Amino acid sequence: MPSFGALEPRILIVGLAPGMHGANRTGRPFTGDHAGLLLYQTLYEAGLASRPVSAAIGDGLTLLNARIVNAVKCVPPQNKPLPQEIRCCNAYLAGELRQLSAVRVYLALGRVAHDAVLMARGLTRGRYLFAHGREHILDEAQCMLDSYHCSRYNTSTRRLTAAMFRTVMARACELADLAVPAALQVP
């Protein structure tokens, strides 16, 4: 699954893998599945997407200062990639990270994405523990911000709410030295 978004993003959103009925069918990350509803609406509110809904690959949606990649390139069985699949696909993620020199913030959607970024950067997991909203300084120019994945499971159980995700996205904008629109500011 190819990545999608700005060619020189300040924020790189790292997801898990293409969804069978979403990205695998549509050809664009987080398009056509439940997780994309919250993601693209929040990107739009942040001024990072040209529209609030990603309906199809040719719908005219563009991302500004943001790009979306997946830790795993193919649809995993039961939507849960095996460690071997994550390791195998990590070379693709590492290659993309090396090419994206303008990135200031990696927004990791879930633990698998968090761990994949660390692996791609040659960093050890023990020094960077995953927790929703946690910030990790990776070097003098880049950091990683963790969020629960915006999956149907996490949003239906309220493990992740729209307000929580807006807060994380606002912080990603701050860390990337981008303006935080009023729609994302917490009262």
Summarize pLDDT for 12-69 with one digit per residue, the tens.
Answer: 999 988 776 666 667 788 887 888 899 999 999 999 999 999 988 889 999 999 999 9
Beta bridge partners of 5: 67
**Between residues 81 and 103, the one the model is more confident about:** 103
**CATH H-level superfamily of 4-184:** Uracil-DNA glycosylase-like domain (3.40.470.10)
State residue 139's pLDDT score.
94
Q: For residue 138, which amino acid is it?
A: L
Residue 181: partners with Cβ closer than 8 Å, 6 or more residues away:
45, 46, 47
pLDDT bin (cut points 50, 70, 90) of residue 186 is low
pLDDT at 172 over 90: yes
State residue 122's pLDDT score.
95
State residue 20's pLDDT score.
65
Domain ranges of the chain: 4-184
State residue 77's pLDDT score.
72
Tokens 């970024």 correspond to 117
State residue 184's pLDDT score.
81
Question: Roughly how many angstroms between the first and final C-alpha of the chain, as a whole number?
Answer: 38
